[in-house]
Amino acid sequence: MILLVAAMVVVVLTAGVPGRVQDMYASALCKIGNQNPEECDDSGPGDDTRSTADDPAPNVPSPEDRLPTPEEREPDLDTSWPLTVEPAIHGGDEEGGEEEDEDGEVEDPASRGTLTEEESPLWTEPGEYPQMDQYEQSQEDYQSLGEGSDGPCFFWDDMCCPERTCETKNEIEATIQGGRYSCLNPTDIMEHLCRPYAAAMFEHFLDGSGEDVNLPMDSFLEDVPEFEEEIEERQDRIISDALDEAEQRDIDRPMTFPISTEKAPWGYPPGEENGTEFVYDDVDWNNAVGSFHYWLEGEITVYPPDEEGGDPSYELDTSVNMEKWYDWERDNDDPVFEDDWKENIAGYSQSDLAELHQYGMAQEFWIRGDADLPTVEG
């Protein structure tokens, strides 16, 4: 009970009850709490009636405080009048979004005439090389068997690597010289053995730098007509897809689609990943590059028909890009050259070539190339 009364006293005292009323509440609560009545004196500082003598005088307007006349409202002649208020510039919805036309409907992106990469149904991010596991394995096992000699390798030099690895390096150097010398000989037999691009790739492999090689794509396209046919077939599919998309949108103005295709494998027959058979005949490029992945980039513009009921036209501009990780199979012991007479000269296998990389006597690398293709119209 005493605690309850004390709490009530605190509430009253802190509630801001003025003067005499506050003292009366305190005295009554004191007596209810069975305190000594003499101690519950209802007199105190609160009995004094608050004086208003110190209150500030009310703010009464004086005759001098008057409103300005219309003439006095007009500003000085050196200021602008009337005041021009610039409207606030709103940036719009921070989240962005599609624009609306005058009727409040969402604008078709195609009405702008050019689609963004995200809007184009013909755009696919090329992504990373599809066989990155080969690249990662190559990085892990470089010099995994030791650090071999990067200088001349002799048959009796077994201090840096096994004798067979040293023999492989010497045989590759002989292969490089043979591929280049054959190009200088006018006879049909020697010309057939001319391998300038294969020799260049072998030599880059042996120099051990691991730097990228820029493939001369224009020369490759000229020497390998089968790849040109592959590109044309893929361009035809792009054109067909673009015309179908334009028809669905019922375009009434030119519309441009950005293009980026998926990376597609090419070189080996369908369903095969390795081997000695290729879908193109050039033996030099077979040995230099073999198979690889390629993709197309660019844009195609579709134009509406010139007259009602006519066919739309198009203009296609693309470039071709290729990529290959130049490496050798670790577990393939079959000779690289199947001909008996070549095998007697150079009998190394893919696993022998991979061992050079593992000893640091050679290093695998990227081959990359690109070329602009002729404009296709129709």
Q: Does 108 reside within a domain? A: no
Q: Does 232 reside within a domain? A: yes
Mean pLDDT calculated for residue range 143-168: 67
Q: Are residues 29 and 128 in the same domain?
A: no
Contact in structure between 318 and 294 (CB atoms under 8 Å): no
pLDDT band at 107 (very low <50, low <70, confident <90, very high): low
Q: Are residues 186 and 310 in the same domain?
A: yes
Q: Could you give the angle at which helices 2-14 and 19-32 cross, rounded to 10 degrees? A: 180
> Is the pLDDT confidence value at 376 over 90?
yes
What is the DSSP secondary-structure string of 20-53?
HHHHHHHHHHHHHTT--GGG----SGGGSPPP-T
Q: Are residues 267 and 363 in the same domain?
A: yes
User: Comparing C-alpha atoms, which of 165, 135, 178, 80 is closest to residue 348?
Assistant: 165
Q: Are residues 193 and 340 in the same domain?
A: yes
> Is the pLDDT confidence value at 342 over 80?
no
pTM (two decimals): 0.68
> Is the pLDDT confidence value at 175 over 70?
yes
Q: Does 9 reside within a domain? A: yes
Region class of 364: left (phi > 0), else alpha (psi between -120 and 50), else beta: beta
- What count of Cα atoms within 13 Å lies in the side-chain half-sphere of residue 80? 4
pLDDT of res. 270: 84
Tally of domains within the chain: 2
Q: Does 62 reside within a domain? A: no
DSSP designation for 219: H
253-304 tens-digit pLDDT:
999 999 999 999 999 998 777 777 899 999 999 999 999 999 999 999 999 9
> Is the pLDDT confidence value at 26 over 80?
no
> Is the pLDDT confidence value at 198 over 90?
yes
> Is the pLDDT confidence value at 49 over 60?
no
Q: Does 15 reside within a domain? A: yes
Residue 294 CB contacts under 8 Å (≥ 6 apart), including other chains: 263, 264, 266, 320, 321, 322, 323
Q: Does 103 reside within a domain? A: no
Percent of the chain with pLDDT over 70: 62
- What count of Cα atoms within 13 Å lies in the side-chain half-sphere of residue 340? 0
Q: Are residues 160 and 299 in the same domain?
A: yes
Q: Are residues 170 and 24 in the same domain?
A: no
Q: Does 57 reside within a domain? A: no
- Mean pLDDT for all residues in the chain: 76
Range of the domain at 229: 114-377
Q: Are residues 6 and 127 in the same domain?
A: no
Q: Are residues 157 and 27 in the same domain?
A: no
User: Comparing C-alpha atoms, which of 372, 270, 264 is closest to residue 324?
Assistant: 264
Q: Does 312 reside within a domain? A: yes
